Copies of this chain bind each other. A is one copy, B any other.
């Protein structure tokens, strides 16, 4: 398959134009989903959409219970799905918990989410990756700027930009506890990064990403164009962001954890191929290659979300 988005192959960084639509499928059917026209426009323009208070406090409470349980259960778990903070043994992320956890398993198929994703991706969808980012208080470290798609393309073989991340805020995300920062409009450009990918790069990159990150000039160019938006909001808010939107977050020295869960949905028409790095695929918990049955194969009743506040 031709590599439409070559990265980590050139001597110098390059900024390439996006070759895929942002909202997929035909325009008419896109209009028929739960997101209204203004929300679609905002997502298409910025590459993300924040829906404040998407889940009720009761729902958030249930998720927090599971979150705390997973944190406790995995304190001494040495499996590769559990990523530790650089410089401490605190849990940074847990991957793939939705396979073993009923609540997160069901949440992945929640029609309030999947219908929106189908609307954006113009097809059936499946969960490509699931992770919890705890960002504990006092010592949660930064996530440097990156486009998820860059890694998923190079290291996992995701061919096209046709995936969406859905982040659910499980604690209040304030300006001071390391909220996600996004560069509006950055999803329209692919920053081809420099540096060759070493084998098993993920073993260090999930603690601290040093490859597949944009060079200073490209990042400055994107920020000059689009600025930086900080996705702050109360627990229960939901952030949709396009797979190529440049994002990152600062560390968290505040006492309040900034814990979010991420579902990454991919179009069933965009299944993974061989990694474009030429290396062996990353483990299944980082990139689902085996279970691509749609999370919902036919839309049931339409869910009305037009009243949800966009912030």
Residues of chain A touching chain B, judged by Cβ–Cβ distance below 8 Å, are: 137-138, 142, 144-145, 174-176, 178, 181, 216, 219-220, 223, 228, 230, 248, 250-256
Query: Which residues of chain B are near A253, meaning CB under 8 Å?
Result: 142, 144-145, 181, 248, 250
Query: Which residues of chain B are near A142, meaning CB under 8 Å?
Result: 251, 253
Given contacts A138-B216, A216-B138, contact A254 B181 (CB under 8 A): yes
- Top 7 nearest A-B pairs (CB, nearest first) are A175-B175, A250-B250, A220-B255, A176-B228, A223-B255, A176-B181, A175-B230
Closest beta carbon of chain B to A58's beta carbon, Å: 24
Contact in complex: A251, B251 (CB < 8 Å): yes
Which of these, B144, B228, B248, contacts A174 with CB under 8 Å?
B228
Query: Which residues of chain B are near A216, meaning CB under 8 Å?
Result: 137-138, 255
Query: Which residues of chain B are near A228, meaning CB under 8 Å?
Result: 174, 176, 254
Contact in complex: A250, B178 (CB < 8 Å): yes
Query: What CA separation (Å) do A189 and B230 show in the bound complex?
Result: 32
Query: What CA separation (Å) do A53 and B138 show in the bound complex?
Result: 32
